[in-house]
Amino acid sequence: MKTSTRPTSPKRFYCDIFGHNYKVTKDVTEHVKEYTCKCCKRELTTNGNGRLTELTPKFKEINATLARIYSNKLARMRTRRYATSAA
Ligand SMILES: [Zn+2]
């Protein structure tokens, strides 16, 4: 991949040297999270392999779906637990 020759912003330059300062901005599921660099606002997410990747619109869509499935699953688990304890 060829990098752009345009001048990078000082903040981005800082990140390139010292590394990004990622902060979790969203818990999608137990294992998938979204991160934003406090410094340059670059966004990352956990992909299917458990690796960090650029948070593209496509991944935002996937994460939104995952979050919906995950919350449904949690709700189901909770219901089941109540059902079991009541028996
Ligand atoms: Zn950064």
User: Residue 81 falls within a domain, yes or no?
Assistant: yes
What percent of the chain lies above the pLDDT cut of 90?
66
User: Residue 55 falls within a domain, yes or no?
Assistant: yes
- In the reported structure, the alpha carbon of residue 55 is separated from the centroid of ligand 1 by a whole-number distance in angstroms of 13
User: Residue 82 falls within a domain, yes or no?
Assistant: yes
Cα distance between the two ends of the chain: 60
Confidence of residue 9 (pLDDT cuts 50, 70, 90): low
Domain with 48 in it: 23-86
Confidence of residue 2 (pLDDT cuts 50, 70, 90): low
What single-letter DSSP state applies at residue 39?
T
- In the reported structure, the alpha carbon of residue 24 is separated from the centroid of ligand 1 by a whole-number distance in angstroms of 13
- In the reported structure, the alpha carbon of residue 9 is separated from the centroid of ligand 1 by a whole-number distance in angstroms of 11
pLDDT of residue 13: 81
User: Residue 7 falls within a domain, yes or no?
Assistant: no
User: Residue 50 falls within a domain, yes or no?
Assistant: yes
Type of residue numbered 54? E
User: Residue 71 falls within a domain, yes or no?
Assistant: yes
Compute the average pLDDT of residues 59-65: 96
| Span 23-53, pLDDT tens digits | 999 999 999 999 999 999 999 999 988 899 9
User: Residue 44 falls within a domain, yes or no?
Assistant: yes
Work out how many domains the chain is built from and give that number: 1
